[in-house]
């Protein structure tokens, strides 16, 4: 359990605490929406979340100011929540608040401690948050505030942070409306007197009701395993970062080499070498083609509007269970992007025709390692669907992103607002002068 800070010389000591001291993670449930025709899921907490990880855009005073404001609001209105910050920003944020925070420098404990994630920035910030769990099959729900250059994954403006966070925090609560109107910290309330049996009842305002919940989109990920020319799995040898994470995994994955997961894409590129990359592609064990190109992309539907789109790939809705193969500047004009079922097993083998040179392997835009001739990259989609609990209502897998309802479809808004989909040249968009 988190320890209390002590007063020394009129000031608090131990302002930045280790994440290992936090209580264990609370896993929410994702239930099929009761709304007819809805493709989104409902977020339901078994009890209020306690550990909140904040991931922010770096080197931006505007974003830092917003994070400080958000942190103070959480501390004042939700005192049972512990704020977790990235090590590189923890000190600068804590200097501007008068309460302790936790640091996520103990990377192996992130998957065991974080209940929910809030991001402040653009799409890159969301990807960075998801990448913290690239070695783990379960990702906490992500609430994204759009404060970056590109906002295709960002859902809300920061001005909405109080309302949005309250809806996420109360999501699925079975507190009755009349019970939820008790001001926080009222010692005379029945909830306080009975030992706080229902902590939701101590939050200001009114409950959303048991039938109202935040909506979640489970974004598909792809997972990869890397094998050297001898057929040995080398996931834990790709880089110092991956080695550090995999060595300290706990639970059923201990002693194994966990798959590497991407929410956008996995790419193999020739890098700074002047010669093109030569890669053999296999589909479900069958040879598909040999490509000679700058590189190759294996993308998710979410990643279809990222690097893959710039390389000429199609736009795929995030709910379509699929895997994309897109070449990067291929020699052949007939090599077009392919859209395959999500459970397709794709193997990329680095051809020996590459003459001993390494190719760059990147996951969600971050270089992991160089892969030499004979190395195989085996990729398939991560399972996303109904869990096998017999009810058929609970879902699992993927990256759970808290989004707006179907009445305000962010995917359509992103196509029209950000990508200017089918926008004629020389004509102003609707609403512009």
Q: What is the mean pLDDT of the chain?
A: 83
DSSP 46-87: SS---EEEEEE-SS-HHHHHHHHHHHHHHHHH-TTPEEEE-H
**Across 302-314, average pLDDT:** 95
Q: Residue 115's closest CA among 202, 214, 28, 46?
A: 28
- For the segment 26-43, the average pLDDT, to the nearest whole number, is 82
The pLDDT tens digits for 264-278 are 999 999 998 999 999
pLDDT band at 430 (very low <50, low <70, confident <90, very high): low
pLDDT attached to residue 209: 52
117-144 b/e (C-beta count within 10 Å ≥ 16 → b): bbbbbbbbbbbbbbbbbbbbbebbbbbb
pLDDT in tens, 244-268: 443 333 333 445 578 999 999 999 9
- Residue 234: pLDDT above 60? yes
Q: Which residues contact 209 (CB under 8 A, 6 or more apart)?
A: 177
The per-residue pLDDT for 145 is 95
CA–CA distance, 278 with 304 (Å, rounded to integer) = 23
Q: Which two tokens stand for residue 37?
A: 């025709």
- Residue 177: what pLDDT? 40
What is the per-residue pLDDT for 181?
Answer: 34
Q: What percent of the chain has pLDDT over 90?
A: 59
**CB neighbour class for 420 (10 Å; exposed up to 12, middle 13-18, buried from 19):** exposed
Contacts of residue 96, defined as CB under 8 A and 6 or more positions apart, other chains included, come to: 68
Kindly state the tokens that stand for 8.
Answer: 């020394």
Q: Please calculate the CA angle 329-331-335 and round it to the nearest 5 degrees.
A: 80
CA distance 293 to 291: 6
Contact predicate 207/167, CB 8 Å: no
Handedness of CA 401, 405, 409, 414 (dihedral sign): negative
CA quadruple 305, 265, 105, 73: dihedral, nearest 10: 20
Cβ contact 204:184 at 8 Å: yes
Q: Which of 6, 5, 158 is nearest to 68 (CA)?
A: 158
Predicted pLDDT at 282? 98
CB-CB contact of 294 with 303 (8 Å): no
The pTM of this model reads 0.85
- Measured on CA atoms in the order 396, 401, 402, 408, is the torsion positive or negative? negative
Task: Give the pLDDT band (50/70/90) at residue 10.
Answer: very low
Is the Cα torsion angle 384, 386, 387, 388 positive or negative in sign?
A: negative
Token pair 């004979």 in the structure block, residue: 374
Smallest Cα–Cα separation from 43: which of 261, 181, 208?
Answer: 208
In this structure, the number of other CB atoms found within 10 A of the CB of residue 62 comes to 11
Burial readout 360-384 (b: 16 or more C-beta within 10 A, e: otherwise)? bbbbbbeebbebebebbbbbbbbbb
Please write the tens of the pLDDT for every residue from 387-413: 665 555 678 889 999 998 756 567 777
390 φ/ψ sector (left φ>0, alpha ψ -120 to 50, else beta): left
Residue 99 has pLDDT above 90, yes or no: yes
């Amino acid at each position: 359990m988190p320890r209390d800070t002590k007063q020394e010389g009129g000031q608090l000591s131990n302002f930045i605490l280790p994440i290992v001291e936090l209580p264990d993670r609370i896993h929410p449930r994702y239930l099929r929406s009761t709304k007819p025709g809805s493709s989104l899921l409902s977020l339901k907490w078994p009890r209020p979340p306690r550990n909140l990880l904040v991931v922010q855009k770096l080197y931006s005073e505007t974003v830092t100011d917003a994070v400080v404001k958000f942190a103070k609001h959480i501390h004042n209105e939700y005192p049972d929540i512990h704020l977790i910050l990235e090590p590189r920003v923890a000190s600068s944020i804590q200097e501007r608040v008068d309460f302790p925070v936790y640091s996520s420098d103990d990377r192996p404990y992130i998957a065991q401690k974080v209940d929910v994630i809030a991001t402040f920035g653009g799409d890159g910030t969301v990807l960075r948050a998801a990448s913290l769990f690239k070695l783990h099959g379960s990702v906490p729900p992500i609430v994204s505030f759009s404060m970056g250059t590109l906002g295709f994954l960002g859902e809300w403006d920061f001005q909405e942070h109080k309302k949005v966070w309250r809806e996420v925090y109360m999501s699925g609560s079975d507190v009755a409306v009349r019970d939820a109107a008790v001001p926080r910290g009222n010692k005379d309330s029945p909830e306080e007197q009975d030992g706080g049996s229902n902590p939701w009842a101590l939050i200001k305002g009114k409950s959303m009701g048991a039938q109202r919940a935040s909506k979640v989109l489970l974004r598909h990920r792809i997972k990869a395993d890397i094998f050297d020319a001898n057929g040995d799995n080398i996931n834990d040898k790709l880089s110092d970062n991956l080695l550090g994470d995999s060595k300290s995994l706990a639970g059923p994955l201990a002693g194994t080499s966990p798959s590497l997961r991407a929410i956008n894409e996995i790419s193999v590129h020739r890098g700074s070498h002047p010669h093109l990359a030569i890669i053999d592609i296999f589909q479900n064990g069958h040879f598909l083609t040999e490509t000679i190109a700058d590189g190759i992309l294996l993308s998710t539907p979410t990643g279809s509007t990222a690097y893959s789109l710039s390389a000429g790939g199609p736009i795929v809705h995030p709910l379509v269970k699929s895997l994309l193969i897109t070449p990067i500047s291929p020699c052949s004009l007939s090599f077009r992007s392919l859209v395959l079922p999500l459970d397709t097993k794709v193997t990329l083998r680095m051809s020996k025709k590459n003459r001993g040179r390494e190719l760059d392997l990147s996951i969600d835009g971050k270089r992991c390692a160089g892969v030499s001739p004979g190395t195989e990259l085996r990729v398939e989609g991560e399972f996303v669907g109904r869990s096998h609990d017999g009810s058929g209502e609970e879902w699992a897998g993927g990256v759970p992103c808290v989004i707006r309802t179907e009445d305000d479809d962010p995917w359509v808004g992103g196509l029209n607002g950000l990508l200017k989909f089918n926008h004629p040249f020389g004509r102003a968009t609707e609403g512009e002068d």
